[in-house]
Structures are given as C-alpha cells and as structure tokens.
Amino acid sequence: MLAQWSVLEVLRSNPELLKDVLRKRYMDPSIVDEAYSVDLEWRRIQVELNELRHTHNVVTKMIAQTKDPQERRKLIEEARQLIKRREQLEKRFKELDERRWRLLYALPNLIEEDVPIGEEDAYVPVMYWGKPRVWRGHEEAFLKETRERGFNVDYEVIDWRPVGHADMLENVLKLGDTLKAGDVAGSRFYYLFEDIVWLDFALLLFAIDRLTSKGYQLVLPPYMLRYKVINGVIDVETFKDAIYKIEGEDLYLIATAEHPLAALYAGEEIYDDELPKKLVGVSPCFRKEAGAGNRDIKGIFRVHQFHKVEQFVYSLPEDSRRLHEEIIGNAVELFKELGIPFRVINIPSGDLGACAVKKYDLEAWMPAQGRYREMVSASNCTDWQAFRLGIRLVRRKGMERGYVHTLNSTAIASTRTITAILENFQEPDGTVIIPKALRKYLEPFEAAPKDYIKPRPKRPA
C-alpha cells in the first residue's frame, strides 16, 4: 500500500466525508456508498482469488518438476479442476473490477476548506482591480457586485452606452463576420479580419513572452488526443459538452492545451527534485459548447474555436496551494498590464469542475453588458489528473512514491480577451485604443495596427 490516490484514501477511511463533498458539489452522494461497497467486495474477492491462483501456481510448478507420467497426469487433472474454480471467480472479479474503475472514475476531487459552499452564484470575490467605466444605466448593478460584496471599487460613470463587442466587430469596426461563418460552418464560428487578427496574435505573443520570461517552458502540443488520455484529464460532463470527436478514429480535438500538457508525463515518474515543472502551452481550443443553449450566441465570447495560452504546472503535493496562487497571480499581472478592469473570484463548490479542489476565475468588466465576465480560470487539480494518468512522484528521501499535483490556468484566451478590449477601450466614436502592452508585438509588422483600431465603412475582405 504505497502510492495512493487521495480520493480513494478518503473513500476507504471516511466515506461520509466524501459524501459530504459530493453534496457540496450538488452531485448524487449515493455513488460513494456504491463505490465503498464495491471496493470492499473487490478487495475481499481479490484475497480469495489470489489464494486460488497461488494453489494453482504451486501445482503448476510441481508439474514442471515431476518426471513420472502417472503422477504428472494426476497433477494436471488437479490443475484443471483449480482452473475451473478460478475462472468462475475471475469472471466475477473482472466484472467487479470494471465496475470499480467506472465508479472511481466517476468520483470528483475533494474540496479545499476555503472554497465557498453553494451553487454558481455563491462565488466570493477576492480582489478587484482597475477603474471600470460604468454606463449610468449599469451603475446599480455594478454597486451590487462591488460595494454590497464589501469592496469599494473606484469607477468612472459614463453617459454613453458602449457598443457590445459583437456589434463592434460586425457593424462598427466591420472586422468580424459571424453570419457568413454561420453559413459555412455554423453558429459560434467566426471570420476575423485584419486588425483583429493582429490583435489575436499579439495577445498570444504577449502572454507567451511574459510567462517564458518567468521561466515557464514553451510547448506546442498535439491538438488531438486518444480517448484513454483525454478521459484521464477531464470529467464526463466536460467530455459530453465540450469535446469534438474525429469520425472513424480514436481521436478527440483538445478543448484546451491543458489536456495534452497534463498528458505529457502520462505513465511516467517524476523525481521530487525536478518539481515544480512549469509549462506554458499555446494551441487552438475546440469546444462543442453543447450545454450553452442560446447563451452568448452573438459575437465571439462563446465560440467553438479560439486560441489560448495556457499555464500548466506539475508540483509537489505540499506546494500546490502556493503554486495555485502563483498562476492566478500571473494571469492577474497580464490583465493589469493590458489595463482591463477585472476581479478575481473564488468559485463555489457547486460550480467546481470534478477535477479541481479549488478554482479561481478572473473576470473582466464588460462595459456594454454591465457585468464581469470570465476571462481566466485557474484550477488546482491536486492528484486527481495525476492518478488517472499515472503520473507518479518519487521522493529521493526513502524513494517514497505517490502522485504529483497538477494545476492549470488560462494566461490569455484570444477571443474572450478581444471582447474585453473592444468594450473597455472603446471611444464614443467607435475607435478602439490598443493596450500599450501589446505595442511591442505589433511593432514589427507593417500592416499591423499600433495605437488604435478605427471603424471601417465596409468589411475588408
């Protein structure tokens, strides 16, 4: 009993606690009872089966040493009888084993003590930053989200209502076309043109530059993964609602670089002196958005594909809390540099993904919508992914074994960040001021915009 998964340990030692976790996540806790009894039965049968296997092994070895043909025949007959019994038990064990794995795979991670308990709206803001522009009509809602939550956020009241990002793209700047994209690919797809495309790449380079400067290692991962791998990284819900499958092949499009980055050390052992391993991945992301219904149907806030720079960290169990603060801190720095007003919230138990024990979201203020919207999500997955992917930790001292912890956080998601820029840096005449931090990444290109994006009379292409 060496390397053990924390959830399995709790299942065995304190199933009531685990049931409580499920309840806090608004999941059916009865699965815990089932998993508990199946695991118990599985262990019991295993003892029995191992004994049978042992006696059979003993007889088999005797056969090998027996020269006398008479004696041999007798032993072989005895072995045959043992196999009959063994096979019956093995059939039961196999069923039980499959059922056990299904149940274990359905269990969510534990929950960190400081996670707010409740459904979606029970989130707790932990910081606000920037001086949001608040249209007069949104002032009340804004104060509700700030002052009433105990944060006195400095803001600027404006009398003109900013144009929403979708209209900005489509009708003011005329640098996006979701209607044509709808014709050729479907809703939630888009064409972007000229300045917006430059902006997309500049944002990615900006995030990559900042993170690699901090020592994060740059990775371009595969954009597709096998079932076995992707199943180790995400939970059923995400699978169902987010993942595209390649027809006729055992391949799935990644919904984020987190998936292939987590898989990078699948089935391997990592020595404690190599940790933490900090990675920054860049990739397109493909999402079905199956559960989204008509939410955010306009524009490019919630789309089937976008680019993202992702932070991913492999850590020692005792360091994962600190590194969780670090990666959300990195995202905070990026948004401060961009000058986009935001807040960070602590996601409540009911809204946590199954893999995470704790999650922070960074939400940007959206002046046209009059509310904060998710830009970044930072999760501490502890050993949940590592267990499923078999990423072991080996401690030099005593060669003790366990599982590493994994953490992930968005750095920049291109389209979402663009929506925040289009709304926050919009002037009354429709011009969009480009954040100074991006200048460096636009400078080398003659055709790229530098200081602002101007409205156009018509779509450029």
Partner RNA sequence: GCCGCGGUCGCCUAGCCUGGUUAGGGCGCCGGCCUGCUAAGCCGGUGGGGGAGACCCCGCGCGGGUUCAAAUCCCGCCCGCGGCGCCA
> Which residues bind to RNA, rule: CB under 7 A?
1-4, 43, 46-47, 49-51, 53-54, 56-61, 63-64, 76, 79-80, 83, 269, 392, 396-399, 401
What secondary structure letter does DSSP report for 233? H
Determine the 3-state secondary structure of 132 from DSSP: coil
When the beta carbons of 272 and 289 are compared against RNA, the nearer one is: 272
When the beta carbons of 58 and 117 are compared against RNA, the nearer one is: 58
- Least distance in Å: CB of 79 to RNA? 3
- Least distance in Å: CB of 189 to RNA? 25
Q: For residue 145, give the amino acid letter.
A: E
When the beta carbons of 61 and 85 are compared against RNA, the nearer one is: 61
389 exposure class (CB count in 10 Å sphere: 0-12, 13-18, 19+): buried
- Least distance in Å: CB of 59 to RNA? 6
- Least distance in Å: CB of 109 to RNA? 18
- Least distance in Å: CB of 86 to RNA? 8
- Least distance in Å: CB of 401 to RNA? 4
When the beta carbons of 293 and 398 are compared against RNA, the nearer one is: 398
Rg of the Cα atoms in the chain: 27
When the beta carbons of 83 and 158 are compared against RNA, the nearer one is: 83
Cα separation, 208 vs 275, in Å, equals 21
Cβ contacts of residue 90 below 8 Å, gap of 6+? Answer: 49
Residue 451 — φ and ψ, nearest 5°? -105, -35
Cβ atoms of residues 208 and 197 within 8 Å: no
When the beta carbons of 49 and 106 are compared against RNA, the nearer one is: 49
What secondary structure letter does DSSP report for 170? I
When the beta carbons of 30 and 60 are compared against RNA, the nearer one is: 60
Q: Which of 310, 331, 335, 363 is nearest to 435 (CA)?
A: 335
Cβ atoms of residues 377 and 344 within 8 Å: no
CA 287 to chain centre: 12
Cβ contacts of residue 133 below 8 Å, gap of 6+? Answer: 155, 156, 158, 162, 341, 365, 367, 424
